[in-house]
Copies of this chain bind each other. A is one copy, B any other.
Amino acid sequence: MGDSAFRREHRQALIDDRVSGASQLARQGLDSLAEYAGSCPAADAAELRRELLAFAEELQFSRPSMAPVYNLAQRFADQVDRLDVTDLAAMRTRSAAIAEELSDQSLEAVAGAARHAAALIDAGATVITHSSSSTVRGIFEYLPRDHARVIVSESRPGMEGRDQAHALATLGVPITYITEAQIGLFAGEATLAIVGADAILADGAVVNRAGTLLLALAARHHGIPFYACCESFKHSPFGPEGFELDEMPAKEVEPPRHKCVTARNIFFDITPARLVDGWITERGTRRNGS
């Protein structure tokens, strides 16, 4: 039986979300799976399992640039597939529990990565970041107010940086708010650059909101280290070859109207591993070349 309307609606919500980071969306996917474990019409445990595996697969490929959406849905599917349960009610409870536990693991991993990153930030430092990342926000929950200043770029056209700046300011962190165009100037005022990530590719390249590559280039130009900070669920099994970068509707860029003008709105870019000085996860900091 299933409930294809539920599946479609929840998958579409993941696709349409421009504001939440990859971790949040992955956990939102797990929430949907937990809810579906409870609500999905099914005659028996085997049918429910088939429904959950099919829904997990749909979610898994809903945001191809976001590794944790893929990884956590895959992890859920693997564990549900191995469940040795024949009772429908038990299948519902156990599947929902798997989703909730994975979600908790993800939150703990994010907090662990943030804690390791906080240890890299000396008092009086200036951190430059780009776009919005709940992991990067989390870093400053481990630091005293005024410990460090943060330079945040706005992240046109979605302006996620505006939310990031406001959220950090609410923690009492002094914020310098800039356009992307000023990243080259302001990287020169920073001590280090830290971004979240939507995925860390198999070769260490960082997939993150478009503009991150420019921040990495500016950091290298000014001789400051560039770190990617994220839970290890963001590690992708895939390399950069053929990696699909989400593109959003061009009209969000508000292009001039003319038949010769085509606007583009690619949501992510890929920063090659050689521009990354270190990868920070819940397991600690891995330096490039070490």
A155 touches B177 (CB 8 A): no
Main secondary structure of the interface of A (DSSP, over half): mixed
Pick from B184, B209, B218, B258: contact of A169, CB below 8 A.
B258
A84 to chain B, nearest CB (A): 48
In the complex, per-residue mask of A237-278: 1 if CB is within 8 Å of any chain B CB, else 0: 000000001000000011110111111111001000000000
Give CA–CA (A258, B157) in the complex, Å: 21
A interface residues, how many (CB within 8 angstroms): 50
- Do the beta carbons of B186 and A211 come within 8 Å of each other? no
Contacts A180-B179, A214-B218 given; indicate if A258 touches B155 (C-beta within 8 A): no
Which B residue sits closest to A275, measured CB to CB? B221
A185 part of interface (Cβ distance < 8 Å) = yes
Q: Which residues of B contact A263 (CB under 8 A)?
A: 176-178
In the bound complex, what is the Cα–Cα distance between A3 and B263 (angstroms)?
48
From B183, B262, B269, A176 is in contact (CB under 8 Å) with B262
- Which residues A175-223 have CB closer than 8 A to chain B? 175-186, 209-214, 217-218, 221
